[in-house]
Amino acid sequence: MATRKLIVLDRDGVINEDSDAFIKTLDEWIPLPGSIEAIARLSRTGWQVCIATNQSGLARGLFDAATLDSMHARLRELVAGQGGRIELILYCPHGPNDGCECRKPKPGMFRQIADHYGYSDLAGVPAVGDSLRDLQAGAALGATPYLVRTGKGTVTLERPLPPGTLVFADLSSVARHLLNE
């Protein structure tokens, strides 16, 4: 169980539907069933909810920062409508070959989150993702990897996972587990 009431979520495939063709427009950004409510429930019970998401569609020219901002504004609005709050949304705008430190599986965004809260690491913090790189990035700073079977999660489950990975059906199941429901 987490020692800090901080949780880091991936976006595509965890909160909203994913697509191999990328989520390029606000109309394509479709929340997964129960995900908004799960975020709001965690937030209402004192959890600090952060999002760390690779968004290489920016580097590929598939959408612009204003479009991405509109998706994140919609996400924040939906969560607020359920009485919750997202504390921080970080994204990596780089492509896979750009050599940055923020693109998962590198832990740059997780380091930024730790720094934001004044933590030296993220020990015990749930890092929820649907891909191996999500889990690896969080685990690099001591976060507990939580794999959801939504998005690419079922395929990811077929690969070797970081030690201590917990597996759940979806974000709602993660929230129920963390809230002892």
Residue 114: C-alpha distances to residues 29, 94, 118, 139, 181 (Å): 28, 21, 6, 13, 28
Q: Is the pLDDT of residue 12 over 50?
A: yes
Stretch 154-165: mean pLDDT: 97
Q: What integer pLDDT is reported at residue 3 of this predicted model?
A: 58
Res. 1: pLDDT tops 80: no
81 HSE (CA, 13 A, CB side):
8
Non-local CB neighbours of 96 within 8 Å, separated by 6+ positions: 56, 103
pLDDT of residue 163: 96
Convert the pLDDT of each residue in 35-66 to its tens digit: 999 999 999 999 999 999 999 999 999 999 99
Which listed residue (10, 18, 134, 170) is catalytic? Answer: 10
- In this prediction, residue 181 has a pLDDT band, given cuts at 50, 70 and 90, of confident
State residue 89's pLDDT score: 99
State pTM to two decimals. Answer: 0.96
Q: Which two tokens stand for residue 11?
A: 């976006």
Q: How confident is the model at residue 96 (pLDDT cuts 50, 70, 90)?
A: very high
pLDDT, one tens digit per residue, over 102-145 is 999 999 999 999 999 999 999 999 999 999 999 999 999 999 99
Q: How far does Cα 82 stand from its chain's mean position?
A: 19
Q: Are 39 and 174 in contact (CB under 8 A)?
A: no
Q: Name the binding residues.
A: 10, 12, 92, 94, 100, 102, 130
- Is 134 an active-site residue? no
Q: What domains sit in the chain, N to C, each tagged with a CATH number?
A: 6-178 (3.40.50.1000)
Task: Please tell me which residue in 12, 18, 134, 170 is annotated as part of the active site.
Answer: 12
- Cβ atoms of residues 62 and 71 within 8 Å: no
Is 69 a known active-site residue? no
Instruction: Give yes or no for a contact between 92 and 103, defined as CB atoms under 8 angstroms apart.
Output: yes
Question: Burial of 66 by CB count in 10 Å (0-12 exposed, 13-18 middle, 19+ buried)?
Answer: exposed
pLDDT, residue 32, reads 99
**∠141-10-41 over CA atoms, to 5°?**
100
pLDDT in tens, 58-95: 999 999 999 999 999 999 999 999 999 999 999 999 99
Give the H/E segment covering residue 144.
strand 144-148
- Could you tell me which residues are annotated as the binding site for Mg(2+)? 10, 12, 130
